Structure formats: structure tokens, C-alpha cells
Homo-oligomer: A and B are copies of this chain.
Amino acid sequence: MSDHQVGKIKAAIVGASGYSGEELLRLLFRHDQVDIVCVTSRQYAGRPVGDVFPRFTGLDLNFSSPSIDEIAESADVAFLALPHGVSAEFAIPLVEKGVKVIDISADFRLKSTEKYLEYYNAEHPAPELLKKAVYGAPERRKEAIKNADLVACPGCYPTSITLPLVPLLKAGLISSEGIISSSMSGVSGAGRKVDLPFIFPECNESVRPYGVVGHRHLPEIEQELAEAAGVDDVAINFIPHLVPTNRGIHSTIIAKLKDGVSADQIREAWNSSYADAPFVRVLPAGRLADTKNVTLTNYCEIACATDAHTGNVILSSAIDNLTKGAAGQAVQNMNIVFGFDEKAGLL
């Protein structure tokens, strides 16, 4: 870990050639208290970031492929935007060397190594470190994040689903049984992946579900909901869809209301839980969430409507999958770790 100017830290972005990496660059360039010291990519090492992300053409910054030691020497914080499995290989030595690690991958989200094995088809690569990792939901773990060496940033879908649900489960306003989330994501959610299903004519004018059973975000969502509900296990249906937008996730969540609970009580529970959460926006009665109101921001907006004829509540939430769902939440976590204003660089 490097010495650094008072109030200014040095950041490495490791595995920066995807959309999350691009979004991290966009956000960190604007952040007054951060210097980007390295942006790594094996594939593009030596090339200007503007070659890979034309939006940054002209910037004097090249991809590099440093050793982990080199990263550790130069950086105070490392953002890992790597495939799962690979991320842990970097996280272990970086944490050892005192670099704060903000991990955008899935390696440290699941507390259960059994679940990791089941959903990622591999033994967990770092079970010891996993115990130290903090699941980086700033709205409910701010204190733990402050002292974390390794923050596991939540997945995009889990962020959109747990933010509306957790306060309601904690307050006992809804049942933890029978919850369903029908979620829709823009195509950047698939990453910068060059594959037939993601070329323009296959996505435009198309709406389609995928991964409707056993999506890798499912155990992460269920883990967080179970904790909130104070139960051992929660089983939900999580049904993601691909829709033709660049950015944005909308989750429509249906849950069984406890007897007599009103929409006002739902909003009160949210307002109370999120009184100090700068990026959660509780919508007034009559409004529902819309992805276009949050794209390119770190906000999550949440809304609800109760349905007397079924006794269910319909929750509606929207985030930008690359900002609040990935890079923005990572920066928010970095802000908390380093004692900056939680909103720094994010407004």
C-alpha cells in the first residue's frame, strides 16, 4: 500500500476492459479524492484506454498488465472487475499486502461455500478470506464496510431486489414465503460479450426471459432475504429478462402482505430504513419505478402498490445495472471504507 497525499488515494482497476471497468473509469475520473494509478488488462496491455473505450479517446492512460506486487505497491485500493474464480486469485495477496479490495465479481458474495460450489461449479477459491469479506450493501452494512479489508459488491439483480424487500422482511410486513421477482435488464448486463444472442438484430424488438431457474444471483438474493427475515432459508422465484435497452434493471416483486398492512406502512418502513441512505429514492403513492429515471446515476428508486383482491403487494424498483448495480456501488463502498463523503464522485 502506497503512501498518498492527504485526502487523495490511489486506485487500481483490475480487469478493466468490460462495461463495469468503463463505468468505473467514468466515475473515478470525476472523483476529486482518487487518482487512477493503473488500469489492467492482459488483452489490451500497452494500449490507450481510448482504443478500447472510444469515449476516452485522447486520455493519457494506457492499459497495463502489472504483477500483483506492482499493483500492491502503487495502489491503496483495488477494484476487481474480473471473472469469478480469477478475482479471488488477486484478492488474497492484495488483502495480505494491505490494499483495500473492492470486488465486483461474485467470489465473495455467498457466505456458504456449498452454495458457491452448487452455483459456480467450483470449490470456493478462498474460504478463509470469505469469512473476512463484507457483503457491500451500503444501506445495511455501513459499519462493517467501514472496517472491511475486502468488500464484495452485490450483484446487479440482487441490489434491485433486496433494497425494496429487506426492510419489509425485517419489519415483518410481508411473508418471506412465495416471493417472486420478475426482473428486466438492459443488454449491458450481459457484459461486453461478443455472442450471437447479443448482436443488435437479435436483441432489438425482442423481449425474452432467460436463466429462469437457478440463475447465479438466486442464492445471493435468498441469502440476504433469509438474513432479513431471520429465518434459515428463503426460496423465491427470480426470473430475469433481457429487454432492448443499454442500461437499467427493473424488478417487479410480488409478495404476500401480512394481514392489514397498507402501502403507507410499506413506504414508512422504507423511509425509516433509508433515512440516511443517499441513493435510495422512495417514490410517493401513485408512482412506480422507471429505469430511465435512474440510468447513469447511483440511485435505486422503489415504489409499491397493494392489491386487495389477492392480498399481495407489488414492489417496483429500478437501478442502473452498471452504476448502482456495479461500479457506482463499488465507488460508494470505497467512499465508506476511506471515510469520504458517501456520495463523493457519484452526483
Are B244's CB and A243's CB within 8 A?
yes
CB contact between A291 and one of B29, B58, B205 (< 8 Å): that residue? B205
Enumerate chain A interface residues (CB-CB to B < 8 A): 19, 29-30, 54-55, 57-58, 178, 180, 182, 184, 186-188, 192-196, 198-210, 212-213, 235-237, 239, 241, 243-248, 250, 252, 254, 281, 283-284, 287-297, 301, 305-307, 309-310, 312, 314, 316, 318, 347
Pick the contact of A194: B195, B248, B290, B347 (CB < 8 A): B195
> Nearest residue in B to A187 (C-beta to C-beta)?
B200
Q: Are A208 and B290 in contact (CB under 8 A)?
A: yes
A-B contact pairs, 13 of them (CB 8 A): A30-B347, A57-B283, A182-B182, A187-B200, A193-B199, A194-B195, A204-B245, A205-B205, A208-B291, A208-B292, A208-B318, A237-B310, A243-B243
B residues within 8 A CB of A194? 194-196, 199
Is B250 a contact of A208 with CB atoms below 8 Å? Answer: yes
Q: What residues of chain B lie closer than 8 Å to A307, measured between beta carbons? A: 212-213, 237
Judging by beta carbons under 8 Å apart, are A243 and B207 in contact? yes
Task: Identify A204's interface contact among B30, B204, B306, CB under 8 A.
Answer: B204
Q: List the number of copies, as a whole number.
A: 4
Q: Closest approach, in angstroms, between the C-beta of A283 and any C-beta of chain B? A: 7
- In the assembled complex, the Cα of A206 lies from the Cα of B291 at a distance in Å of 5
Q: How far is the CA of A58 from the CA of B205 in the complex (A)?
A: 22
Q: 10 smallest A-B Cβ distances: which pairs?
A: A182-B182, A206-B292, A208-B290, A187-B200, A200-B203, A207-B250, A54-B293, A188-B201, A207-B291, A55-B293
Contact, CB under 8 Å: A57 / B301: yes
Q: CB-CB < 8 A to A297: which residues of B?
A: 55
